[in-house]
Structure 1
Amino acid sequence: MTDIDLGTAYTWDDARSRGATRGQIAQDGVRLGRGLYLSSVVEPDLATRCRAWQLVLPRDAAFGLGTAARLHGAPIAEPPTVHVVVPSRRQLPRRAGLTVHERLLAEEDVVVVGGLSLTSGPQTFLDLAAGLPPAELVAAGDALLRAERMDAASLARRLERADRVRGVVRARGCAPRLDGRAASRPESLVRYWLAISDLPDPQLQVPVHDRWGREVTHADLGYSEWKVALEYEGRQHADPDQFGRDVDRYSLMAADGWLVLRFAGRHLGSPVVVVDRTRRALSSRGWRP
């Protein structure tokens, strides 16, 4: 008997009803949950697994919290289970590998991205606020803005009707600090640490001009008044071509009188170090509290 084409994802009952044998399912399928399989020939990334889960979820379910955040492009760790949001009901779907949450959602709180129903950017930000520390919440919010999953107006609307929702106080406190110009999680974290200190708020993507007034480069973060720049050096900066471009950038900045502070992954757990070094740099350039 010829094997049946089962596609990338299928349930046991559907596969058997189409004539697939137990042996074909055992050989082809990777079990995601009770009675749910993903073909072994596809890459089991998060989006692919979520499309498979849709086969057994209620039609009004949406992927939410950390799962939605990852699918929206936010820089948070992928949760060990897939998180799903459903309207309140007597009996919630219960399956190993799923974490189900009840929510009272408006129509605008759910969007379809790549064929998947997800909580919207503002709803996802609000849900994350209940569990993420403020610095990480700002980094996630920056990413949602950068990816155009929300804007200031849509976030304000969602938070306005979120009275007594868990996490809303933190969400409202962090919302004014969000900025979609932040290019990465490390930049967002550094900006947050500086913003809650007694130092001036740093500028983002600060232009650096030569003596003729031409923009020759820009700094991730900085203080143009005192010509102090802050740069985060990720792994990509170890690439030889990128390293050469960085040398040019830092030389141009130094030639125009900029003092450049460079930070790396080792500093992401040390906000005190980042703030102290920035304070010393600003003080050396004439800043006074």
Structure 2
Amino acid sequence: MEHREPLPDGLPEDFPVWLARAHGVTRGRLRQRDLDAPFFGARLRRHEAADIDADDPYARQRLLRVERARQYAPRLHTGHYFSHQTAAAVWKAPLPLEFTPHGEVAGAADLELHVSAFGHIPFPRATGVRGHRTMLRLTEVTEHDGLRVSSPAATWASLGVLPLFDLVALGDFFCRRWREGPGRPHPGRPPLSTIEDLRRMLEAGRRRGADRLRAALGMIREDAWSPRESLVRCILVEARLPEPELNTDVYDERGVFLGCVDLAYPREKVAIEYLGMLHGERWAQDVERLARLRAAGWAVIEVTSPLLKRPHDLVARVTAALKV
């Protein structure tokens, strides 16, 4: 059985090697199996490692990115900060799935940690870390959830390599306004950013994917509630259909509230609902809500994940419902 000396009380749950050595911890103790070495020069108490279990692969990748950032945080240089996809994950923003060269959904070991450095500060170098260098005028740095990250607007402007519709979904998330209304969550909560903030960061200097960022900026809206809703809207607009209203409260002729519709054409009484992973009570509530809409004369188009992968079919169904 491996004999383990207890670690000094002054060490946090994750710590840099230099701090442990300063507390008298030997190199042999730092190699023992109760400690993980997520990055060179860092240690994490194994029993404290996060147990990440998310059925949604998008949520799982986000959680893995954040966990990697927390593991690296003890060795983060004072002139460094988390940026790009890592910062987006810390802000809980939607990102496209990443895959391995073999087509599998990327796991923790496959997801790069993005760390940026200002000016001539030493470049971040470690296995699994992708370093970036930037200038002060091209970014804003703040702290969120205990981690030093680029601001929402600066994060968005740094991700011009993403596909257009993903940039729109990212901007929709950052600029969402939490409006008053029946059953709406967190009314009055301030948005993480504004469209003007995004424009200001985009125009601060040269950006990778600047043309794509500019195109996305004009497509961002403040009432989208999910990246799938954003994608549905982009598909319909790209097909030259009228742009639907977002998260519209619908009432019947007596003024009775029927429900909030993801995307709607009120004049034509056409509702488009994205159905994600529904379980139990949530599923039952959605069934009842859609039944009320249909009883009031609305045509309801239910969009599932398989349908979203067939955009031509989605456009055809909406076109038929609108009779255009």
| Deviations 1:232-288 (CA, angstroms, capped at 9, x unpaired) | 11112xx232222122211210121100000111122222221121111111xxxx4
Q: Residues 148 and 43 from structure 1, CA distance in 2 versus in 1: closer, same or farther, beyond 3 angstroms?
A: farther
Corresponding residue for residue 12 of structure 2: 7
SS in structure 2 opposite 1:266?
Answer: helix
Corresponding residue for residue 251 of structure 1: 291
1:190 lines up with 2:205 in the alignment: no
Aligned equivalents of 1:230, 1:168: Cα separation in 2? 32
Shift in Å at residue 209 of structure 1? 1.2
Aligned equivalents of 2:313, 2:35: Cα separation in 1? 50
Shift in Å at residue 52 of structure 1? 3.8
TM-score by length of 2: 0.80
Find 2:40's aligned residue among 28, 34, 37. 34
1:139 lines up with 2:169 in the alignment: yes
Corresponding residue for residue 248 of structure 2: 206
Find 2:25's aligned residue among 20, 26, 31. 20
Shift in Å at residue 41 of structure 1? 2.2
* Equivalences for residues 77-92 of structure 1 within 5 A: 77=97, 80-89=111-120, 91-92=122-123
1:271 lines up with 2:311 in the alignment: yes
| Residues 195 and 201, structure 1, Cα contact 8 Å, conserved in 2 | yes
Corresponding residue for residue 88 of structure 2: 69
Find 1:121's aligned residue among 152, 163, 166. 152
Aligned partner letter, 2:82: F
| Deviations 1:106-133 (CA, angstroms, capped at 9, x unpaired) | 386111112211111111111112x211
Aligned equivalents of 1:59, 1:143: Cα separation in 2? 29
Runs of 4+ in 1 over 4 A off after TM superposition: none
Shift in Å at residue 97 of structure 1? 1.7
| Residues 209 and 256, structure 1, Cα contact 8 Å, conserved in 2 | no
Give the gaps of 5 or more residues in structure 2. Answer: 51-63, 99-109, 177-189
Aligned equivalents of 1:159, 1:2: Cα separation in 2? 51
Deviates most, 203-212 or 59-68: 203-212
Deviates most, 120-129 or 209-218: 209-218
1:154 lines up with 2:197 in the alignment: yes
Deviates most, 215-224 or 264-273: 264-273
| Residues 307 and 314, structure 2, Cα contact 8 Å, conserved in 1 | yes
Aligned partner letter, 1:66: Q
| Deviations 1:130-178 (CA, angstroms, capped at 9, x unpaired) | x21111111111122238321122112112323x321121111111221
Aligned equivalents of 1:188, 1:223: Cα separation in 2? 16
Shift in Å at residue 46 of structure 1? 4.0
Shift in Å at residue 89 of structure 1? 2.3
| Residues 138 and 201, structure 2, Cα contact 8 Å, conserved in 1 | no
Deviates most, 74-83 or 255-264: 74-83
Q: Residues 248 and 95 from structure 1, CA distance in 2 versus in 1: closer, same or farther, beyond 3 angstroms?
A: same
SS in structure 2 opposite 1:16?
Answer: helix
Aligned partner letter, 2:202: L
Structural RMSD (CA)? 2.1
Aligned equivalents of 1:182, 1:208: Cα separation in 2? 16
| Residues 32 and 97, structure 1, Cα contact 8 Å, conserved in 2 | no
| Residues 138 and 204, structure 2, Cα contact 8 Å, conserved in 1 | no
| Residues 88 and 102, structure 1, Cα contact 8 Å, conserved in 2 | yes
1:97 lines up with 2:128 in the alignment: yes
SS in structure 1 opposite 2:76?
Answer: coil
Matched residues, percent identical?
A: 31
Give the gaps of 5 or more residues in structure 1. Answer: none
| Deviations 1:28-68 (CA, angstroms, capped at 9, x unpaired) | 31111112111112234544542442332321211111000
SS in structure 2 opposite 1:248?
Answer: helix
